[in-house]
Amino acid sequence: MMPSQDIQQVNSEPVFQQTSDDQLKKIRSALRALRDAVVLLNEHGGLEWWNKSAEDLLCLKPSDKSNSIFDFISAREFRQYYEETTIPNDGVYIESWRAPKRNLKCELTPFGDEKLLIIYDVTRLQHLEKMRRDFVANVSHELRTPLTVMMGYLENFSDQPDMPPHWKRGFELMTQQTTRMNRVVSDLLLLSRIEIEEAHELNYIDVTRLLTHIYDDAQAYNQEYGHNIHLEIDTYDGLYGSEMYLTSALSNLVINAIKYTPKGGNITINWSKTAKGCRFAVEDDGIGIAPKHIARLTERFYRIDKGRSRSTGGTGLGLAIVKHVLYQHEAELQIESVEGKGSIFSAVFPPSYIRSTAIS
């Protein structure tokens, strides 16, 4: 008679096999039922397996097995994305080739030599996002004229020498608040313009000259704060980009450093070369930021201390503008900060946006 342990070993393998087969079947049916298109690609980009949504989207037939994915998705952006993807990432957006046109997001996940491709239909999402952008742009635009009229009349009335003293305070407050509204509307319009413009002209920017302007304006703003502001230019390399947007973004960072540093502080503006490109940085020894706020600072209207932001004329949109402008120039905002000690806001511009002084 066989020992009982042996009986268990002999029997356990088929049972295990059966369970994993069942699980595999379940996984396959789940993938098949997914509304997103799923395609498994071999090491040469050939089709290994696909679900029903992929079959519909890419018009696949069983005989297409092993055919190249590029026979079905010919967009140049997709090929480049495929070749560059070695780790999971944010994916690439392409337009579908079928009528009516759909907006698709392709996401590749490499595993071993193979790649899993998931294609999402993001047409509706992108449509909603466009509606939101257009709404904000239209509202801001519509508010502009009435605000300008109100500000004009308020200024006229406030200048009247015979204004009754008990009205004076009221007029002061109305002027303050309409000025604030005007600043918010201007920032919202700027933000909408940056968001809507998908591509902008890349003009040469003399960064040394631009930073000298920003520094001069900062000194004027600094009068009531009395900080020591230093400008360090470690490279004469320039940038290709939008001078207007970059001026707005970089001066926002400098003005913030001034606003959020107690009087008599130290602020350094620096432009230097690094291994990855050229780096712009503003360092202050101001109030600093607690770690829990850092990730949310570039959200619209996110402020740590609403009162302080308003009293210094802030709209809560400055860092959102900075983030979008930098994104347009393929640079990313980095924030390092220690509460009570100070902050460094910086961005590294990649070589494709840099005009090196060596070749100019």
**Does residue 314 bind ligand ADP (CB under 6 A)?**
yes
DSSP state letters, 296-330 = TTTSTT--S-HHHHHHTT--S-HHHHHHHHHHHTT
> Are 110 and 85 contacting, i.e. CB atoms less than 8 angstroms apart?
yes
**Does residue 251 bind ligand ADP (CB under 6 A)?**
no
Peptide bond into 262 cis (omega under 30): no
Among 51, 53, 140, 315, binds ligand ADP (CB under 6 A): 315
- Degrees, nearest 5: CA angle 210-346-129: 95
Report, in Å, the least distance between residue 81 CB and ligand ADP.
32
Q: How many residues of this chain bind ligand ADP (CB under 6 A)?
A: 20
Binding mask 267-306 for ligand ADP (x = CB under 6 A): -----------------x-xx-x-------x-----xxx-
Report, in Å, the least distance between residue 316 CB and ligand ADP.
4
CA distance 298 to 290: 15
- Strand ranges of the sheet holding 92-95, from the earlier edge strand across to the other edge: 47-50, 37-41, 114-121, 103-111, 92-95
**Does residue 319 bind ligand ADP (CB under 6 A)?**
yes
Phi, psi at 343, each rounded to 5°: -140, 155
Report, in Å, the least distance between residue 195 CB and ligand ADP.
15
CA distance 76 to 214: 40
| Segment contacting ligand ADP by CB under 6 A, of 74-82, 121-129, 268-276, 308-316 | 308-316
Among 51, 256, 328, 346, binds ligand ADP (CB under 6 A): 256
Report, in Å, the least distance between residue 324 CB and ligand ADP.
12
**Does residue 218 bind ligand ADP (CB under 6 A)?**
no
Q: Judged by CB, which is closer to ligand ADP: 57, or 191?
A: 191
Phi, psi at 35, each rounded to 5°: -80, -20
Report, in Å, the least distance between residue 326 CB and ligand ADP.
13
CA distance 258 to 318: 14
Report, in Å, the least distance between residue 304 CB and ligand ADP.
4
**Does residue 265 bind ligand ADP (CB under 6 A)?**
no
Residue 295, both tokens: 């990730």
CA distance 307 to 138: 28
Residues found near ligand ADP in the complex (CB under 6 A): 252, 256-257, 260, 284, 286-287, 289, 297, 303-305, 309, 314-319, 343
